[in-house]
A and B are shown apart, each in its own frame.
Chain A
Amino acid sequence: MIRVVLPFHLRTLSRTSGEVRVELQPGEVATLRTVLDALERQHPVLCGTIRDHTTFERRAFLRFFACEEDLSLQAPDAPLPPAVATGEAPLLIVGAMAGG
């Protein structure tokens, strides 16, 4: 079980509150790709809102954080930190701050 924290607008869109818990497919390693695949399977409305529909590139104003590390530039198939894989720590999907 992987814990994912969504930004406000994606929680609203997916009608979730608090953390989202997703299950990987049997035998899958926890990576950005497998976790986002699982998240989108569970909440199809999120398809296209975190990464591009076809290139799967991260949307420019979103970042991925976990265990006090910025994982945004990590390769999509690189393993996530063990604490994320075990559910001890959440994967944070964070929108860039903006204001005025």
Chain B
Amino acid sequence: MSSVRVLVGTKKGAFILSSDGTRRKWDVTGPYFAGWEIYHLTGSRADPNRLYASQTSGWFGQVLQRSDDGGKTFRPAGNKFIYEGATGTHQYYDGTQRPWKFTRVWHIEPSPDNPDVAFAGVEDAALFRTADGGQTWQELSGLRNHRTAPSWQPGAGGLCLHTILLQQPQRMYVAISAAGVFRSEDGGRSFEPINRGLKSDGIPNPNADAGHCVHRIAVHPSRPNVLYMQKHWDVMRSDDAGDSWTEISGNLPSDFGFPIGVHAHEPQTIYVVPIKSDSEHYPPEGKLRVYRSRTGGNEWEPLVRGLPQENCYVNVLRDAMAIDSLDSCGIYFGTTGGQVYASPDGGENWSAIVRDLPPVLSVEVQTLS
């Protein structure tokens, strides 16, 4: 029988939540790496027992952990993320130029077909690759050396590369706050910005090539040219692999938010969690609602059954939503209040797997056979 493993990174350690395919009863283990910030814990599709964890600390810097037994044990891998060549500068909050400086790994994206190959998105924004299971990391510096890079500036969370989408054979997308989305057609050696159609108030040229605060992008594998985006404000869609974007916020109560996800079996069905505003990082009206569109955007319905509908003032961060691939598609998200919610039926019904974890930074799910 199928089962699922939900991988949760929090401000104070990692947790692994396991269930059979019914997803009614959960086994919770952790904390792993107690006391450390786990920006991301994720698994390889090529080998589900291979997990990678980004373990970080303001005191002690970056550690990267690896498991080869599905999280029963971990051992430290390589933590040397050295920018290649001249470091260069990017724009800082105050408008001055600052040298690129590595702070942490935000996101790890394992290759779909080789467990030893993975990509890491880091702060200050850059892309690294390992081909030896995380022991050594090499920068794919074409991104950081892009002509627009000196104009990139950090969002409130830092200048972070937080989303990596891999497509065969050589295409990949990355998203950076607050630079935007970039596409590579050569396996990450070079990138071009794909931000046409994005409009962002608060930047000097609201239609700029780069400088947009993209919070998350998502794609369904059966429609590789259809991208969905939760931007700082606005929910967007591209039907041409990012060459152009149109707004699909429609009837959402707020189009500010962080994560966006696509149903495993319905490529037009997407999920967002509206947040009141960039100044008030909690759900509108204190009601935690996931919104689902079955039409690829514009027409949205609230999903509330089992979610708190009063006095709820948590946030859901960009890497904190995941979707399994069981026949009845499961949706998962974690909150800054430490709850991890699961829906085993595409969002109709929700319940909390756990309620009192540290603030949740990331959620991933592995569908195991």
> A-side interface residues toward B, CB under 8 Å?
7-10, 12-13, 45, 47-50, 53-54, 59, 61-62, 95-96
Q: Which residue of A lies closest to B76 (CB)?
A: A45
Q: Would you list which residues of chain B between 20 and 37 have a CB under 8 Å from chain A? A: 34-36
Residues of A within 8 A of B61 (CB): 48-49, 59
A95, B60: Cα distance in complex, Å: 9
Q: Which residues of A contact B34 (CB under 8 A)?
A: 12
Extra inter-chain contacts (8) besides given A9-B35, A9-B59, CB under 8 Å: A9-B36, A10-B60, A47-B79, A47-B80, A48-B79, A49-B79, A61-B58, A61-B59
CA distance A61 to B58 in the complex (A): 7
In the complex, what residues of A have CB within 8 A of residue B336's CB? none
Collect the chain B residues with CB atoms within 8 Å of residue A48's CB.
Answer: 61-62, 79-80
Whether A59 and B63, one on each chain, are in contact in the complex, defined by CB atoms closer than 8 angstroms, is no
Q: How far is the CA of A53 from the CA of B82 in the complex (A)?
A: 8
**Out of A45, A47, A53, A95, which one reaches B59, CB within 8 Å?**
A95
Bound together, the chains give a CA A35 to CA B59 distance in angstroms of: 20
Give 23 CB contacts A-B under 8 Å.
A7-B59, A9-B36, A9-B57, A9-B59, A9-B60, A12-B34, A13-B63, A13-B76, A45-B76, A47-B80, A48-B61, A48-B80, A49-B61, A53-B80, A53-B82, A59-B60, A59-B61, A61-B58, A61-B59, A62-B60, A95-B59, A95-B60, A96-B59
* Closest CB in chain A relative to B29 CB, distance in Å: 17
Tell me the dominant secondary structure on chain A's binding face. loop
Interface string of B78-89 (1 = CB under 8 A from A): 011010000000
A95 to B61, CA, bound (A): 12
Closest chain A CB from B13 CB (angstroms):
11
Tell me, rounded to whole Å, the shortest Cβ–Cβ distance linking A47 to chain B: 7
A45 shortest CB reach to chain B, Å:
5
In the assembled complex, which residues on chain A have CB atoms less than 8 Å from the CB atom of B82?
53-54
Docked complex Cα distance between A98 and B132 (Å): 37
- Specify which chain B residues have a CB less than 8 angstroms from the CB of A61 in the assembled complex: 58-59
Chain B 274-298: CB-based contact to A (< 8 A → 1; otherwise 0) = 0000000000000000000000000
Please indicate the chain B residues that have their CB under 8 angstroms from the CB of A47 in the complex.
79-80
Q: Could you say which residues of chain A place their CB within 8 Å of the CB of B58?
A: 61
- Most A CB within 10 A of own CB, among B34, B35, B57, B62: B57
Query: Which residues of B sit under 8 angstroms from A10, Cβ to Cβ?
Result: 60
